[in-house]
Amino acid sequence: MNIVPVSYYLVLSAILFGLGIIAFVFKRNIITIFMAIELMLNAVNLAFVAFARAHNQLDGLVFVFFVIVVAAAEAAVGLAIVITVYQNRQTLNIDRINMLKF
């Protein structure tokens, strides 16, 4: 069943990670920037699973599990911060949130 070389998965992971970095740098909306971080985490997860399969060691899958848990916690806290920022500034544009304190 599994005849696709693992290097294909790694290249796809690298492409997705690069696109995540590009989105992180290019996007101006703070929520979209946050989504770019999630995209990068997903790309890393794909590399983890591919390596776990290649070396036939399941530690990689356990790590992916932990990455997903941490990503969920991070999303909860991060979006709470986004809501707080929006309540204080009435904007989501990252260029207008360039000061820690007025």
- Site residues for other proteins, 55-94, by CB under 8 A, read 56, 58-59, 61-62, 64-66, 68-77, 79-84, 86-87, 92-93
Interacting positions 21-50 with other proteins (CB under 8 A): 21-23, 25-29, 31-32, 34-36, 38-39, 42, 45-46, 49-50
Q: Name beta bridge partners: 65.
A: none
18 binds other proteins (CB under 8 A): yes
Q: Confirm if 50 and 8 have CB atoms less than 8 A apart.
A: no
In this structure, what token pair is assigned to residue 80? 């709470």
In this structure, what token pair is assigned to residue 87? 């309540």
Exactly one of 10, 44, 89, 97 binds other proteins (CB under 8 A); that residue is 10
Q: Confirm if 34 and 79 have CB atoms less than 8 A apart.
A: yes
